[in-house]
Amino acid sequence: MKNSSWIRAWMGKEPKGGSTKEHRVSRADKPEVAPRNLWRLAASLLILQGVWLGSPAQAQRSDRKPLSYGHLLQKIDACKTESTLSPATTCQISKVEIDPSRSVAKVHLTGQQATEPPQDVVLLDQNNELIEKLRNANIAFDVEPTADNTAALGLVMNLFLLFLLMAGLMMILRRSASSSGQALNFGKSRARFQMQAKTGVFFNDVAGIEEAKEELQEVVTFLKETERFTALGARIPRGVLLVGPPGTGKTLLAKAVAGEAGVPFFSISGSEFVEMFVGVGASRVRDLFKKAKENAPCLIFIDEIDAVGRQRGAGIGGGNDEREQTLNQLLTEMDGFEGNTGIIVIAATNRPDVLDTALLRPGRFDRQVTVDLPGYNGRLGILEVHARNKKLASEVSLDAIARRTPGFSGADLANLLNEAAILTARRRKDEIGILEIDDAIDRVTIGMTLNPLLDSKKKRLIAYHEVGHALLMTLLENSDPLNKVTIIPRSGGIGGFAQQVFNEEMVDSGLYTRAWLIDQITIFLGGRAAEEEVFGYDEVTKGASSDLRAVSNLCREMVTRYGMSDLGPVALESPDSEVFLGGGWTTRAEYSEEVATKIDQQVRAIAMSCYEKARRLMRENRPLIDRLVDILLDRETIEGEQFRQIVAEYTQLPEKQMAVTR
């Protein structure tokens, strides 16, 4: 019995120590095959096929004790003995069905019910003894082999495996063909091409840069009514260079030109020309202009042209690198031996100082359009454009927002209204109100609001520092008025701030007077002066570090660039220039060491004079400062009008100083 059980376990028909069902579950729990390795998958399928097809059928589970081959022979012998001695005795075996293909015999016992399944007995390879004993015992038996579909199923599995291998091979060949095609197309232009530019932007969608729009309107007219100009001998401009600070709308203008012109339009970035392979950039330039000539008249827009148009020979030893080859090819295509009639190139950059002079000459870029920061009317127009899809409250005035945002670019104004809309949604309001606009301006210019500080020495020190700035903004005659002062911290390490409303005309024109600059330096030093007057020299903190840097830079510019010192009306330094832009290999001092000493003395004299003035005003108004600090600690924010009313109780300021410049 033990040996036969071991034989069945060895043959795989019944696992040792467990049932057949448990054996099937253990096979199903094999780890999944990684789909990325094709050969490992194929080998696994082949092994699975052999295991699946080679495994004999499993015996059905029964509640009865399994009948072994030895027990079956004993029962047959008993039937034979009983039949000879006492024919009336009933044999325990009524019928035996032998399946030689599965090596299994189904034994029907005497007296068992019809619903009960027969017992399966595993047979040996040769069963002549069993058949002979069944005949001698007069037991009915039948030999019926079951249909064997193993060969057909194995053929199907082999065909499926072959199909899987062929599909993987085709996928590998297709990828290799695609890679080789890309390798041959390195020199092709990557410019986006549209027969009629569908940018969705027109001149009506561009505001705040009317002068630039007028310049580019002529380009659109050139493209639409070419004969009107050529009949008079006029030549269509070869190129237009858009120059201006970031966010002023250079790319938006190019989209508007494409939308208005209605001609084929190519757009590409300067960085897309140059690759790591030699000659690729020049090849792409040739391919771009070849396609443009086939579709002339057309527009080519190159964004950030400074990535490929920098001055040649700027590196150490000059060099003939890939970028220079690309630039040389671009120069030749724009105005070379063949020319490019009917093609207008529009380029944008915020670094015109680094561009090669050959690229800027007439014939290549005939026009340079400056897209500068918008003035009041420009900011108002930009706000009207971006407010079309915003739900503004009735009390919100775009005119007031435009007056409060001098120096903002178009991108800054768009971001301002977007931040206000986000704040409105977070606060679960239906319309954008004045509070959201104010918070959005602070978030864009200064930073995100953080949790207020607890009442402590640090909070009181910050309050004295900011009140020192705000008081000088109110007391000094030539300063711009205070907008608000707060001690609510902001992101970036800002503990508080005092904000001015700058004169729009002065900011737009850049014509700052000496009196305004002196008062501005004094305001920068107001926080440090308040700390020293209230807490003493030993308690001065590093909170004024950014103010001191601003003072040093402003004083030095007054002495060396603006001629606003005792050294006279001379410019001793030029604006900072970048390194390796082709301007020369070495830098030389523009003044002697003696003049350098005098410059340092003048810078220090201006700073110390303003600092003494700030400390004097702090001493004279010490009770006022203490009251303002107490109010600021209680409210955490004081608006400019409230601040001036408190100051007016202690001082008699000129009426013009009490007015709020909005």
With CA atoms as reference, report the closest residue to 520 among 566, 556, 473, 482.
473
pLDDT at 196 over 90: no
| pTM for the full predicted model | 0.62
Same domain, 395 and 318: no
Which one-letter amino acid corresponds to residue 163? F
466 annotated active-site = yes
Domain termination residue (choose one: 388, 410, 445) = 445
Residue 59's pLDDT band (cuts 50, 70, 90): very low
Residue 182 lies in a domain: no
DSSP assignment of 447-482 equals --B-PPPPSSHHHHHHHHHHHHHHHHHHH-TTSPPE
Grouping H, G, I as helix, E, B as strand and the rest as coil, residue 193 is: strand
195 Cβ partners below 8 Å, 6+ apart? 264, 295
Residues 363 and 331 in one domain: yes
- Confidence band, pLDDT 50/70/90 cuts, at residue 424: very high
User: For residue 588, is pLDDT > 80?
Assistant: no
**309: Cβ–Cβ under 8 A, 6 or more apart, which residues?**
270, 327, 330, 347, 349, 355, 356, 359
Q: Which residues of 160-179 are buried (b: 16+ CB within 10 A; e: fewer)?
A: ebeeeeeeeeeeeeeeeeee
**Residue 331 shares a structural domain with residue 385:** no
Q: Which of 391, 415, 445 is the last residue of a domain?
A: 445
Would the pLDDT of 509 be above 60? Answer: yes
Question: Same domain, yes or no, for 492 and 559?
Answer: yes
How far apart CA 347 and CA 570 sit, in angstroms, is 37
User: Is residue 395 domain-shared with residue 514, that is, in the same domain?
Assistant: no
* Shared-domain flag, residues 428 and 464: no
Say what the pLDDT of residue 198 is. 65
Question: Higher confidence at residue 352 or residue 87?
Answer: 352
State the Cα–Cα distance between residues 466 and 527, nearest whole angstrom: 6
Q: Which of residues 249 and 51 earns the better pLDDT score?
A: 249
Pairing mode, strands 367-370 and 343-349: unpaired
Tell me the percentage of the chain whose pLDDT exceeds 90.
21
Reported as a single tens digit per residue, the pLDDT across 321-340 is 777 888 888 888 888 777 66
Each residue of 252-288: pLDDT tens digit? 888 888 778 777 888 888 888 776 556 677 888 888 8
77 domain residue, yes or no: no
Q: What DSSP letter does each residue of 385-414 carry, written as one string? A: HHTTTS-B-TT--HHHHHHH-TT--HHHHH
Does 245 lie in the same domain as 364?
yes
46 domain-assigned: no
Here the CATH number for the domain that contains residue 439 is 1.10.8.60
Consecutive H or E run containing 77: helix 69-85
The percent of residues above 70 in pLDDT, for the chain, comes to 75
**Residue 405 forms part of a structural domain:** yes
* Region of poorest pLDDT, from 126-135, 185-194, 473-482: 185-194
Class of residue 429 by CB neighbours under 10 A (exposed 0-12, middle 13-18, buried 19+): middle
Same domain, 345 and 488: no
Pairing of the two strands 367-370 and 239-243: parallel
Q: How far apart are CA 379 and CA 384, in angstroms?
A: 9
**CB burial of residue 94 (10 Å; 0-12, 13-18, 19+):** middle
Higher pLDDT, 134 or 36: 134
- DSSP annotation of 318 reads B
* Structural domain of 418: 376-445
Same domain, 407 and 473: no
Residue 137 has φ and ψ, to the nearest 5°, of -90, 5
Compute the distance between CA of residue 117 and CA of residue 538 in angstroms, rounded to an integer: 102
C-alpha distances out from residue 461 to 294, 468, 483, 537, Å: 71, 11, 21, 13
289 and 391 in a single domain? The answer is no
CATH number of the domain at 536, please. 1.20.58.760
Residue 254 lies in a domain: yes
Predicted confidence at residue 237, as pLDDT, reads 81
Query: Within 13 Å, how many C-alpha atoms sit on residue 453's CB side?
Result: 22
**Domain ends where: 326, 347, 370?**
370
Per-residue pLDDT at 587 exceeds 60: no
> How far, CA to CA in Å, does 219 sit from each of 176, 215, 270, 332?
46, 7, 22, 22
Q: Choose the most confident range, by mean pLDDT, from 117-121, 457-461, 628-632.
A: 628-632
Judge if 415 and 356 occupy the same domain: no
Query: Once rounded to an integer, what is the mean pLDDT over residues 530-542?
Result: 91
29 assigned to some structural domain: no
- Split into its structural domains, the chain has a count of 3
400 plus 352 within the same structural domain = no
**Residue recorded with tokens 């009865």:** 64
> Would you say residue 389 lies in a domain?
yes
In a domain, 199, yes or no: yes
Q: Are 231 and 162 in contact (CB under 8 A)?
A: no
Cis previous bond, 297, omega within 30: yes
- Alpha-carbon distance 330 to 335, whole Å? 9
Mean pLDDT, rounded, for 299-306: 87
| pLDDT at residue 21, as a whole number | 39
Average pLDDT for the chain: 77
Catalytic residue among 466, 531, 532, 533: 466
